[in-house]
C-alpha cells in the first residue's frame, strides 16, 4: 500500500473485529481499506491468542493422553517423548495458513490492505505510517476503530517474552522452548487456566495465584467449583486463592515471587522457573489521535460507543476488545458485521445474552446467558435442572464422564435464561443452548426435541427435563 486515496470505510486494526467489519463493508458495496500494524492479519486471536493456544491445547492433550491414559484403553505406546520444536512448528503453520487465508479473503472481497500504523489527523483523514516508516494520508467517510487489547503488566513484573522468558505474558507462554519444572500462573482467568493446562500436561507443576476467592469470576460458581476440582485432580494444579503478589525478583533462570493474603497478612516467597502473568487485558486506545477528533474514553480507557457502536463523533465507530463487553473474538466479529451493516443503512441487533464463552481445557467449560448468581442478584425467580455426565451413556462409554449440564429457566414461563456445561465437548455443545436463548425457547422445547443416542447432547435434553419436570436417566 502506498497510494493513499478516498474510502467509504477505513478500519483501523485487522483482528477478528476489524477484518470481519472490512469484509462485510466491502460485501455491502462500500469502498473499504483495513490498516494493520502487525504485518499479519487476524489480530491477537489468530497470531497470539485463540488459535495458537488451541493448537497447543490440542497437542499437549494428545501427549497427556499418550503418557497417562492410553494404557487404560489397552494401548501401549512404549516410551513417549516430547519434541517441543515440532509441536511449536505445527502451531506456527496453523497460524500462518489462517492469516494468509484472510489476505485471500481481502483480495476476493476487494478490501484494500494497508500494512502500517493508523492514527487520526482529523475526523475524515487518517495517517498511515507504513512498516517502512513512510507516512501516507487517506480520506475516509467512516472509520471503524478495532485496535483490540494487550496484556496488562504488573508494574514490578515486566514481561521478558522475547528474551529470557521467565516472566511472560500469554504471548511468551505460547513460545516457551522447554517445559518449566514449576510454572506460577498469576491470575486465574480463562487465559491463565488454558495456558497453565498446556504446560501442566507437558509436565510442569502449576500453581495458580489468584487475588479473588473464585476463578473466572464472571462464570457460574457451581461449574467453576467443579472445574477447579477437576484441575486439581487431573493436572495436579495447586491454588493460592485470595492471595496477592506484591513483589518479584526476575532472573535469567527463574522468578522469586512474594505474595500475601489479599486481606493482608504474612508474606511468603514462591520459586518458579517461569511466571505467567495473566491478570487481564487492557484496551489499546493510546496514540490514535482520539482526543484530536473528540472520541471519548470511559474510566477503563475503553472507547465510548452507543448501541450501534457510534462514538461521540458521528462518522467514527469502535468495536471489539477496545470497547465495553467481554473480550472475545466472536463478540468482536458480531460487532464487526453489525457496524458495517449500520454504516450502510441496515439495522441489526446483538443479543449479548446469547454470546457464549468457553474455557478450552479438558473437560471444557462453556456458558451462555445468565449465571445462577446473576439471577439471584437480579431477584429473578428461576428453576434449575442439573444433569451429570456420569449418567450419560456416551460419556460413560468413552470413559469421560466428568462434568454436568446446568440449565436455569424462568420459574413462571420456563424460558431458558442460562446454560452452563462442563464436558469434553462443552464448547461445541453450548450452541444448542445459544440458539435456544436466541429463539426464546423453553426447557420443554429442548426436552421434547429428539436428541440422537448415544450423544453427550442427550445430557442437555435431560437437564431441560430436570428443569421443568423430571429427567429419565437420573
Catalytic residue ranges? 453
Q: Which of 161, 273, 321, 462 binds ligand FAD (CB under 6 A)?
A: 321
User: What is the rounded distance in angstroms from the CA atom of residue 90 to the CA atom of residue 67?
Assistant: 20
Contact status: 386 vs ligand FAD (CB under 6 A): no
Residues between 248 and 287 that touch ligand FAD (CB under 6 A): 284
Residues between 324 and 343 that touch ligand FAD (CB under 6 A): 327-330, 332
Q: How far is the CB of 236 from ligand FAD (least distance, A)?
A: 22
Contact status: 185 vs ligand FAD (CB under 6 A): no
Residue 413's contacts (CB-CB under 8 Å, 6 or more residues apart) are: 442
Q: Which among 96-104, 142-150, 227-235, 344-352 is the span making contact with ligand FAD, rule CB under 6 A?
A: 142-150
Q: How far is the CB of 137 from ligand FAD (least distance, A)?
A: 14
Contact status: 24 vs ligand FAD (CB under 6 A): no
User: Does the annotation place 449 within a ligand binding site?
Assistant: no
User: Does the annotation place 280 within a ligand binding site?
Assistant: yes
User: Does the annotation place 82 within a ligand binding site?
Assistant: no
Give the β-pairing of 205-209 and 182-186.
parallel
> Are the C-beta atoms of 257 and 223 separated by less than 8 Å?
no
Q: How far is the CB of 356 from ligand FAD (least distance, A)?
A: 9
Query: From the CA atom positions of the chain, what is the Rg in Å?
Result: 24
Give the residue carrying C-alpha cell 500462573. Answer: 185
Q: How far is the CB of 428 from ligand FAD (least distance, A)?
A: 13
Q: Give whichever of 280 and 440 is closer to ligand FAD, judged by the CB atom.
A: 280
**In terms of Cα–Cα distance, which of 237, 272, 279 is closest to 257?**
272
How many other CB atoms are found less than 10 A from the CB of residue 1? 17
CA–CA distances in Å: residue 151 to residues 6, 48, 173, 426:
34, 11, 12, 27
User: What is the rounded distance in angstroms from the CA atom of residue 264 to the CA atom of residue 455?
Assistant: 49
Per the omega criterion (within 30 degrees of 0), is the bond before 363 cis? yes
Instruction: Supply 404's cell numbers.
Output: 454436568
User: What is the rounded distance in angstroms from the CA atom of residue 346 to the CA atom of residue 342?
Assistant: 5
User: Does the annotation place 193 within a ligand binding site?
Assistant: yes
Q: Which of 146, 202, 401, 436 binds ligand FAD (CB under 6 A)?
A: 146
User: What is the rounded distance in angstroms from the CA atom of residue 66 to the CA atom of residue 74?
Assistant: 11
The binding track of 186-205 with respect to ligand FAD, each residue x by CB under 6 A or -, is -----x--------------
User: Does the annotation place 188 within a ligand binding site?
Assistant: yes
Instruction: Supply 471's cell numbers.
Output: 429427567
User: Does the annotation place 329 within a ligand binding site?
Assistant: yes
Residue 392: exposed, middle, or buried by beta-carbon count in 10 A (0-12, 13-18, 19+)? buried
Q: Give whichever of 288 and 447 is closer to ligand FAD, judged by the CB atom.
A: 288
User: What is the rounded distance in angstroms from the CA atom of residue 179 to the CA atom of residue 181?
Assistant: 6
* CA angle, 19 then 21 then 27, to 5°: 105
Q: Give whichever of 191 and 456 is closer to ligand FAD, judged by the CB atom.
A: 191
Q: Give whichever of 35 and 464 is closer to ligand FAD, judged by the CB atom.
A: 35
Q: Give whichever of 188 and 385 is closer to ligand FAD, judged by the CB atom.
A: 188
Contact status: 159 vs ligand FAD (CB under 6 A): no
Q: Which residues would be at the binding site for ligand FAD (CB under 6 A)?
A: 12-18, 35-38, 43-45, 49-50, 53, 117-119, 146-149, 170, 191, 284, 288, 320-321, 327-330, 332, 360
Q: Which residue positions form the known binding site for NAD(+)?
A: 187-194, 210, 280
Amino acid at each position: 500500500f502506498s497510494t493513499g486515496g478516498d474510502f467509504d470505510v477505513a478500519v483501523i486494526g485487522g483482528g477478528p473485529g476489524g477484518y470481519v467489519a472490512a469484509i462485510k463493508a466491502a460485501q455491502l458495496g462500500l469502498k473499504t481499506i483495513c490498516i494493520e500494524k502487525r504485518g499479519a492479519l487476524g489480530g491477537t486471536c489468530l497470531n497470539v491468542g485463540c488459535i495458537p493456544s488451541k493448537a497447543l491445547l490440542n497437542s499437549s492433550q494428545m501427549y497427556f493422553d499418550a503418557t497417562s491414559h492410553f494404557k487404560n484403553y489397552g494401548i501401549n505406546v512404549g516410551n513417549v517423548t516430547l519434541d517441543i520444536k515440532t509441536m511449536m512448528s505445527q502451531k506456527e503453520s496453523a497460524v500462518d495458513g489462517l492469516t494468509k487465508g484472510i489476505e485471500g479473503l481481502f483480495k476476493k472481497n476487494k478490501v484494500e490492505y494497508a500494512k502500517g500504523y493508523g492514527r487520526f489527523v482529523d475526523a475524515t483523514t487518517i495517517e498511515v505510517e507504513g512498516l517502512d516508516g513512510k507516512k501516507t494520508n487517506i480520506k475516509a467517510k467512516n472509520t471503524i476503530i478495532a485496535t483490540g487489547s494487550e496484556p496488562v503488566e504488573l508494574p514490578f513484573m515486566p514481561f521478558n517474552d522475547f528474551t529470557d522468558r521467565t516472566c511472560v505474558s500469554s504471548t511468551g507462554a505460547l513460545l516457551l522452548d522447554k517445559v518449566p519444572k514449576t510454572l506460577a500462573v498469576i491470575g486465574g482467568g480463562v487465559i491463565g487456566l488454558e495456558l497453565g493446562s498446556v504446560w501442566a500436561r507437558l509436565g510442569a507443576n502449576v500453581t495458580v495465584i489468584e487475588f479473588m476467592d473464585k476463578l473466572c469470576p464472571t462464570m457460574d460458581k457451581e461449574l467453576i467449583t467443579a472445574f477447579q476440582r477437576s484441575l486439581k485432580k487431573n493436572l495436579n494444579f495447586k491454588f493460592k486463592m485470595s492471595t496477592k503478589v506484591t513483589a518479584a525478583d526476575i532472573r535469567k533462570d527463574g522468578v522469586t515471587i512474594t505474595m500475601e493474603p489479599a486481606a493482608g497478612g504474612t508474606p511468603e516467597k514462591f520459586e518458579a522457573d517461569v511466571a505467567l502473568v495473566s491478570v487481564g487485558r487492557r484496551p489499546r486506545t493510546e496514540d490514535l489521535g482520539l482526543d484530536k477528533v473528540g472520541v471519548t474514553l470511559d474510566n477503563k480507557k475503553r472507547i465510548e460507543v452507543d448501541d450501534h457502536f457510534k462514538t461521540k463523533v458521528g462518522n467514527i465507530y469502535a468495536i471489539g476488545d477496545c470497547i465495553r463487553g467481554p473480550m472475545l473474538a466472536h463478540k468482536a466479529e458480531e460487532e464487526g458485521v453489525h457496524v458495517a451493516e449500520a454504516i450502510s443503512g441496515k439495522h441489526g441487533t446483538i443479543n449479548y445474552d446469547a454470546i457464549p464463552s468457553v474455557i478450552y481445557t479438558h473437560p471444557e467449560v462453556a456458558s451462555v446467558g445468565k449465571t445462577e448468581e446473576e439471577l439471584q442478584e437480579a431477584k429473578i425467580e428461576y428453576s434449575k435442572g442439573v444433569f451429570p455426565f456420569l449418567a450419560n451413556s456416551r460419556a460413560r462409554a468413552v470413559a469421560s464422564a466428568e462434568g454436568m449440564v446446568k440449565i436455569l429457566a424462568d420459574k413462571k414461563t420456563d424460558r431458558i435464561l442460562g446454560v452452563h456445561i462442563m464436558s469434553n465437548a462443552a464448547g461445541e455443545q453450548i450452541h444448542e443452548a445459544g440458539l435456544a436463548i436466541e429463539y426464546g425457547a423453553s426447557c420443554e422445547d429442548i426436552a421434547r426435541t429428539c436428541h440422537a443416542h448415544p450423544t453427550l447432547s442427550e445430557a442437555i435434553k435431560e437437564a431441560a427435563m430436570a428443569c421443568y419436570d423430571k429427567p429419565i436417566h437420573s
